[in-house]
Amino acid sequence: MVMVVIAMILLSLLLAGCSSSSPLIPGIFLISLYYQKYVPVPSTAQVDYNAHNAIAVVAGEAVLQCRVGYFGICINPDGGSWLCSNNATALANEIALSQDPLNLVWLASQFKDMIVFPYLLIIAVLFAFLCLLILATFPNWENEGEGEDLHLVKRFPTRSVAQISLISIFISCAFVLVSVLWQHTASVAASIIVQDFGNGSVRSGVGTSAMVLGWFGLVFLVTIMIGLLFFCLTQLSVKQTEE
C-alpha cells in the first residue's frame, strides 16, 4: 500500500508541474525554452548560413526563460521570480516585446495545447487509487487458537478481489508507460527542433525532474503489479493443493 501511495504522489507532482509559482513547482517541467547567446552550429544542409545573424538581431538582449508543464506555463522574464499560469495570453500580456521577440511563450503554449496530453496520467492515478482501496480490504494478521496453541494466521482475500486489484494496477502501469514514453519522445523532439531553429540565440532542454518522477512512478507501479501477480499465483497454487 505504501508503494501505491508513493507512486500516486510522484505522478501527482508530475501533473502539478508549472501549475503555480509555489516553491519547487516551476522546477517540474517537461521542456524549457530560453534565450541564450552561443556559437551557432554550422551545417552543409543550411541553405542560408547567415540566418542565425538575423535571428540574433531579433532576439536582441532578451533573457526570458519559459517552462512547460502538463497544466501550466511558467516564465521568468528577467531572472527574477517565476510567473505561472495555464493561460499563455495572460503571461504574454505581462511582458514587453523586447523580452520575448521570438515568441517563445507562444511556442510553449503550442507545445502544451497540441502535444501534451495529461489525461492518460490522470486515468492511471485513478486506477492506482482504486487498487489502493482494494488493498485496504485485504485481511490482516489474525490470532488463531488458544493458550499455547495461539499463533498468527494471515488470511487470503477472495480470488476475485485479488484479481481486480491486479487488473487495476496493470491498467495503471499501461497508461503510465504510454504517457511517459509519449512525454519523453515529444519533449526531446520539440527541444531539438526549437534549439536548432533558434541557432545561436535560443536554447532548450528537457525537464530532468519530470522524467525522474514519471519513470520512478512507473517503476513503483510495476513492482506492485509483480507483487500482486505473485500473490495471485500463490493463492491459486494453495487452492489447487487443497483440492
Instruction: Tell me if 125 sits within 8 A of 13, measured CB to CB.
Output: no
Read off the pTM: 0.85
The pLDDT of residue 141: 54
For residue 159 the three cell numbers come to 480470488
What single-letter DSSP state applies at residue 2? H
Least confident of 22-26, 43-47, 68-72, 155-159: 155-159
Distance of CA 25 to the CA centre of its chain: 12
Question: Residue 112, SS3?
Answer: helix
pLDDT digits (tens, 9 = 90+) for 119-170: 999 999 999 999 888 888 766 555 555 555 555 555 556 777 778 888 999 9
pLDDT digits (tens, 9 = 90+) for 207-230: 999 999 999 999 999 999 998 888
For residue 59 the three cell numbers come to 532576439
Length of the chain (residues): 243
Question: Residue 21, SS3?
Answer: coil
Instruction: Tell me if 14 sits within 8 A of 64, measured CB to CB.
Output: no
- In whole angstroms, give the CA distance from residue 167 to residue 108: 37
Relative to beta strand 151-154, strand 141-144 is antiparallel
